[in-house]
């Protein structure tokens, strides 16, 4: 309604009214109206009584989308108010770090589309790097517009079919995937794959990376046959381009093994895990940090298969590597100790399992945030052990705490949360009876 009113009355309003409206709407974060006002001819760099522009007002209030719209329209990024403060400085003062970083990447010049190609690419790279930092910290809402802006610059400057555009699409897809928006992620992964195939050829390693990304998404969506075909093709590309004894080949084999494992086909998964482990041991050495996850995965598989004798030395090797390289109080040590304890519990060796479960929980509590899923997992494991030993009074508070953490960190429908909830409910029923 506000937009319609602006369009209807624009012919009777003086220019200064548009300028004041732009300042007011920018401060309120009304991006759609801001765009209409810009289109109607409002002065992007009009000032209020403190000599602040619309960009300064939006930045100070933390309205990221409005800031981006104003920058795209050509607002002066380096302008200062009556106190000599820029939009970036005002954003920093208000604690809007991402907006401040965005404005720093934009610099104080004109709209990036009017800059030299090299300067625009430097700008895009800065935005991309900022987005990577935010993504690694799981600040997805902050990372998304940074990736989008970097992508827009790459598309404008390099063209829509450049490999750097594909890289941006892949990373933006990671954001959507992490937030559960799989349809958006799939579209971006598919487009990225098409770009690298056309630009680099169908047998380039970057094509294999895009295939892996798309396969992971299909696996998550239970499209197992499609995922297997993509993983298999990726492995073939890596082997041809990089040779048999390569980390990328090993990682691809592990992906394929994981796919078979989650489908309940451990015997099909085993040879792929073994091949991957063999490559890591040969090219990196038996004590390398990257060898440890492969050892742990094969140990976990053997435990599920009931191959307890084969599993135990693999667990112990993984624990030894993690302790030596990462230190005895690292979360990976806790996870591996928990796996070994699970092996003992599966064999009925409850007395041997208990100290390992306790150690795993102690490390997890110390190394991770209280609400971390691994803490829930460690609590649940020890609670299950006490339940098996009929130590119900000790099991109940552990399962209750694990359930509370699991619901918050994993969601009520997660398999681990469901298992803990069932065990806790059964325990409460037993205690009442």
Q: Backbone dihedral region of 327: left (phi > 0), alpha (psi from -120 to 50 degrees) or beta?
A: left
Average pLDDT rounded to a whole number, residues 391-403:
92
The pLDDT mean for the chain works out to 88
Assign a CATH topology to domain 111-210.
Answer: 1.25.40
- State yes or no: pLDDT of 423 exceeds 90: no
What pLDDT digit, counting tens, does each position of 162-176 carry? 998 999 899 899 998
pLDDT class for 4, splitting at 50, 70, 90?
very low
* Fold matches, 1-109 and 111-210: yes
- Give the least confident one: 11-20, 42-51, 268-277, 368-377: 11-20
Instruction: Spell out the domain ranges in the chain.
Output: 1-109, 111-210
pLDDT class for 330, splitting at 50, 70, 90?
very high
Q: To 5 degrees, how large is the angle CA 28–CA 34–CA 37? A: 135
Average pLDDT rounded to a whole number, residues 285-313:
96
Q: Which of 151, 143, 80, 86 is nearest to 120 (CA)?
A: 151
- State yes or no: pLDDT of 40 exceeds 90: no
- Please name the residues in contact with 13: beta carbons below 8 A apart, sequence gap of 6 or more: none
The pLDDT value given to residue 107: 59
- Give the least confident one: 66-70, 235-239, 429-433: 429-433
Main-chain dihedrals φ then ψ at residue 347, nearest 5 degrees? -90, 0
The pLDDT value given to residue 34: 85
Average pLDDT rounded to a whole number, residues 4-15:
45
Give yes or no for a contact between 390 and 371, defined as CB atoms under 8 angstroms apart: no
- Give the least confident one: 97-106, 108-117, 263-272: 108-117
What does the block give as tokens for 293? 């996850």
The pLDDT value given to residue 16: 60
Distances from the Cα of 359 to the Cα of 269, 331, 334, 383, angstroms: 30, 11, 7, 14
- State yes or no: pLDDT of 225 exceeds 70: yes
- State yes or no: pLDDT of 44 exceeds 90: no
Average pLDDT rounded to a whole number, residues 218-236:
95
Q: Which of 315, 248, 325 is nearest to 288 (CA)?
A: 325
Give yes or no for a contact between 198 and 179, defined as CB atoms under 8 angstroms apart: no
Give yes or no for a contact between 234 and 210, defined as CB atoms under 8 angstroms apart: no
Average pLDDT rounded to a whole number, residues 58-87:
86
Give yes or no for a contact between 70 and 54, defined as CB atoms under 8 angstroms apart: yes
Measure the CA dihedral 322/327/333/334, to 10°.
-170
- State yes or no: pLDDT of 412 exceeds 80: yes
Architecture of the domain whose range is 1-109 = Alpha Horseshoe (1.25)
Give yes or no for a contact between 341 and 351, defined as CB atoms under 8 angstroms apart: no
Q: What is the pTM of this model?
A: 0.69
Q: Pick the residue with more confidence: 160 or 114? A: 160
Q: Backbone dihedral region of 246: left (phi > 0), alpha (psi from -120 to 50 degrees) or beta?
A: beta
pLDDT class for 13, splitting at 50, 70, 90?
very low
The count of other CB atoms within 10 Å of the CB of residue 112 is: 26
Question: What would you report as the CA-atom Rg of the chain, rounded to the nearest whole angstrom?
Answer: 28
Measure the CA dihedral 21/22/25/26, to 10°.
-160
Q: Percent of the chain at pLDDT above 90?
A: 54
pLDDT class for 200, splitting at 50, 70, 90?
very high
Asked whether the CA dihedral 16, 19, 24, 27 is positive or negative, the reply is negative
Q: Pick the residue with more confidence: 413 or 208? A: 208
Q: Pick the residue with more confidence: 66 or 327? A: 327
pLDDT class for 83, splitting at 50, 70, 90?
confident
Q: Which of 31, 104, 106, 19 is nearest to 61 (CA)?
A: 31
pLDDT class for 6, splitting at 50, 70, 90?
very low
The pLDDT value given to residue 430: 78
The pLDDT value given to residue 314: 97
Q: How far apart are CA 192 and CA 58, in angstroms?
A: 33
pLDDT class for 144, splitting at 50, 70, 90?
confident
pLDDT class for 204, splitting at 50, 70, 90?
very high
Q: Percent of the chain at pLDDT above 70?
A: 93
The pLDDT value given to residue 1: 45
Q: To 5 degrees, how large is the angle CA 49–CA 53–CA 55? A: 145
Q: Pick the residue with more confidence: 146 or 14? A: 146
């Amino acid at each position: 309604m506000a937009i319609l009113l602006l369009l209807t009355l624009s012919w009777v309003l003086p220019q200064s009214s548009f300028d004041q409206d732009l300042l007011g709407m920018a401060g309120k974060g009304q991006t759609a109206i801001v765009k209409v006002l810009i289109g109607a001819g409002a002065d992007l760099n009009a000032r209020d009584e403190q000599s602040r522009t619309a960009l300064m007002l939006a930045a100070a209030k933390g309205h990221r989308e409005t800031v981006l719209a104003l920058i795209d329209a050509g607002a002066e990024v380096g302008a200062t108010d009556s106190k000599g403060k820029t939009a970036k400085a005002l954003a920093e003062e208000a604690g809007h770090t991402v907006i401040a970083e965005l404005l720093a990447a934009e610099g104080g010049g004109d709209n990036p589309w009017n800059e030299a190609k090299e300067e625009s690419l430097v700008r895009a790279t800065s935005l991309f790097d900022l987005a990577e930092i935010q993504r690694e910290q799981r600040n997805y809402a902050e990372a998304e517009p940074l990736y989008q802006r970097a992508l827009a610059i790459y598309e404008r400057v390099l063209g829509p079919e450049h490999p750097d555009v594909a890289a941006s699409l892949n990373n933006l897809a990671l954001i959507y995937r992490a937030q559960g928006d799989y349809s958006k992620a799939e579209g971006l992964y598919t487009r990225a794959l098409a770009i690298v195939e056309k630009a680099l050829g169908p047998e380039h390693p970057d094509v294999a990376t895009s295939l892996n990304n798309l396969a992971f998404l299909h696996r998550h969506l239970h499209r197992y046959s499609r995922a297997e075909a993509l993983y298999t093709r990726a492995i073939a590309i890596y082997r041809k381009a990089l040779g048999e004894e390569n980390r990328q080949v090993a990682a691809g084999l592990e992906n394929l093994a994981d796919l078979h494992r989650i489908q309940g086909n451990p015997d099909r998964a085993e040879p792929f895990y073994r091949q991957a482990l063999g490559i890591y041991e040969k090219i990196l050495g038996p004590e390398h940090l990257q060898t440890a996850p492969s050892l742990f995965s094969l140990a976990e598989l053997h435990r599920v298969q009931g191959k307890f004798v084969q599993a135990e030395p693999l667990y112990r090797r993984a624990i030894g590597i993690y302790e030596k390289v990462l230190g005895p109080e690292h979360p990976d040590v806790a996870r591996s100790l928990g796996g070994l304890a699970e092996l003992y519990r599966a064999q009925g060796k409850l007395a041997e399992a208990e100290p390992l479960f306790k150690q795993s929980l102690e490390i997890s509590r110390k190394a991770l945030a209280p609400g971390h899923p691994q803490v829930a997992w460690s609590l649940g494991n020890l609670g299950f052990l006490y339940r098996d030993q009929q130590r119900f009074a000790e099991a109940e508070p552990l399962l209750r705490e694990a359930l509370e953490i699991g619901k918050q960190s994993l969601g009520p429908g997660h398999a681990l949360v469901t298992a803990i909830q069932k065990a806790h409910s059964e325990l409460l029923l037993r205690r009442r009876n």
